[in-house]
Chains A and B, each alone.
With several copies, the nearest count.
Chain A
Amino acid sequence: MTLRTGQAIAAILLLSPLPAMANEINAGDTAWMLTASALVLIMTLPGLSLFYGGLVRSRNLLSILMQCFTIACAMSLLWFVVGYSLAFSGDGAWIGNLDKAFLSGVTLDSVSGTIPESVFIVFQMTFIMITPALFVGGFAERMNFSAMLMYSVLWSLLVYVPICHWVWGGGWLGQMGLLDFAGGTVVHITAGVSAVVAAVVLGSRNGFPGKPMPPHNLGITVAGAGLLWFGWFGFNGGSQLAADGGAGMAILVTHLSAAAGSLAWMTVEWIRYGKPSVLGIVTGMVAGLGSITPASGFVGPLGGVIIGLSGGVICYFATQFIKGKLKIDDSLDVFPVHGVGGALGTLLAAVFISASWGGAGYAEGVSMASQLSVQAIGVVATVVYTAAVSYLLLKIVGLIVDLRVDGDTEQQGLDLAQHGETGYNL
């Protein structure tokens, strides 16, 4: 078996003249990719929605669910209109072309690698759905719904789609050899950076940090966490785009990293406060999963465990630093968990891909040092570009509508004020 560099393979298959055989659909690969698409869908709806929803105060539960749901729908249509085409059609270094706008030309017979192109489109669509849904956690409990919607759409078009093209669509980062199997840069860093930028631009929630804002329903948070873990099998395993040993290994290391991240975070809490907490363990799980994501197709089991452990510990301290020290109200800690975890995993991929660590081994002519520098470029480019564009977009949207709800609305809760509903009538 030869190493595939994650989803980039798809781009390559689409772009290059291929032997006839490769254009035949494999039912087994297709079966897995249909499933993987469904699995990534469940991560956003209802996985992430519940995970986040349980963490806010009860009067903002519905606003979180609504934001995640609306984003999921709007991004699906955006992907249909131009997103897919700009990301995956054409081989520009910076952006694709509009040949497949409105998915024109995609038929029953279109093939992408060994699967129908329709399946590749849906699979990738679930990625653009979840990425902006992730950053909702950064400005939770205070952002104005219409500003949120406008921002998410523009952001996806101007941040997600280009970076997706850079890394997986044949763009400059992919060409440079960046290893990002399932979205350490494309998904987690972009979401994390955008969340913290929004938190800063919008300002803290009223009462932060003095006033207690405990999660209102940790049960649904844990339910969401379970669905995230479940769905992540599709996220990382599906990024192989085939049902083979690569997908199997991706899932194995993903699973081990989740377990290791969970226990790492829990242990730190246990040592520091004498009490392991359920919020801690599920946050560690997300940290472990976010960290392994870029590396999942490249490393072996031991690499997975080590990445998970470091993700759990480092994201823990990053959380303390951002909220405790910097007093930035990234409400649900999106940056320290996803941003930091995604960057960590992108860098560590360069280490643990080494065959000596049980990984898939470096490509011809690549050393750990050279790979590490490519990874670092990928991380820095993603952070800088995302931060700059996110900031600009928020400022622009802020000229058109209020970014933030007013104080009374925040007091009363967004559910009632913005959506005319209440979460609980028990």
Chain B
Amino acid sequence: MKLITAIIRPFKQDDVKDALSQIGVMGMTVSEVKGFGRQKGHTEIYRGAEYAIDFIPKTKIEVAVTDDLVDKVVDAIVESAKGNKVGDGKIFVTNLEEVVRIRTGETGDDAL
């Protein structure tokens, strides 16, 4: 099993959710993060004092999937989150050694 973590633009969250649902992904976990990268931040001015804000709001989506689904999921995310502008984000894939469903105690692929 793999854990796929995507950092995307916040307003793409619903598109990505829909794309994942369509290919049968049943669950995901989302959080608000701030990103720093090639995409420029912005400037805020308060009573003449200028502040450069480097960190940009991003959304992190984590999806645990069985090995066979990884490529499909990655493709679906790329497709739905793409805007062709710097700052569209990244996808990270890591190995999951175990997954447990708390309610039932099921483990492995069954737990997903």
Contact = CB atoms under 8 A, between A and B. Distances in A.
A420 B49 contact: no
Interface in A388-426: 411, 416, 420-422
Contacts of A280: 47
Contact of A323 (B42, B49, B52): B49
Contact of B47 (A209, A275, A333): A333
Contacts of A269: 45, 48
B11 interface: yes
B46 A279 contact: yes
Contacts of A422: 44
Contacts of B14: 211
Contact of B49 (A283, A316, A324, A411): A324
Interface in B16-60: 42-49, 51-53
Nearest to B54: A212
A209 B46 contact: no
A269 B51 CA distance: 15
Nearest to A275: B45
Q: Is the interface of B mostly helix, strand, loop or mixed?
A: strand
A212 B17 CA distance: 15
Contacts of B49: 209, 323-324
Contacts of A421: 44-46
A214 interface: yes
Contacts, number: 41
Contact of A324 (B43, B46, B48, B53): B48
A269 B46 CA distance: 10
Nearest to A408: B85
B45 A420 contact: yes
Contact of A320 (B43, B48, B51): B48
Interface string B62-75: 00000000000000
B42 A416 contact: yes
Interface in A200-223: 209, 211-212, 214-215
A214 B51 contact: yes
Contacts of B51: 212, 214
Given A411-B11, A416-B42, A212 B47 contact: no
A319 B44 contact: no
Contacts of B11: 411
A420 B43 contact: yes
Interface in A39-83: none
Contacts of B42: 416
B60 to A, nearest CB: 17
Interface string A243-286: 00000000000000000000000000100110101011001000
Contacts of A323: 47-49
Nearest to B43: A420
A411 B51 CA distance: 19
Nearest to A416: B42
Contacts of A211: 14
Interface in A293-340: 316, 319-320, 323-324, 333
Given A212-B53, A411-B11, A319 B47 contact: yes
B6 to A, nearest CB: 19
8 contacts: A214-B46, A273-B45, A277-B46, A316-B48, A320-B48, A333-B47, A421-B44, A422-B44
Interface of B: 11, 14, 42-49, 51-53
Across the A-B interface, give the 9 residue pairs with the lowest CB-CB distance, nearest first: A212-B51, A320-B48, A420-B45, A273-B45, A420-B44, A279-B46, A319-B47, A411-B11, A214-B46
Given A269-B45, A323-B47, 11 more contacts: A209-B49, A212-B44, A272-B48, A277-B45, A283-B47, A320-B48, A324-B48, A411-B11, A416-B42, A420-B45, A421-B46
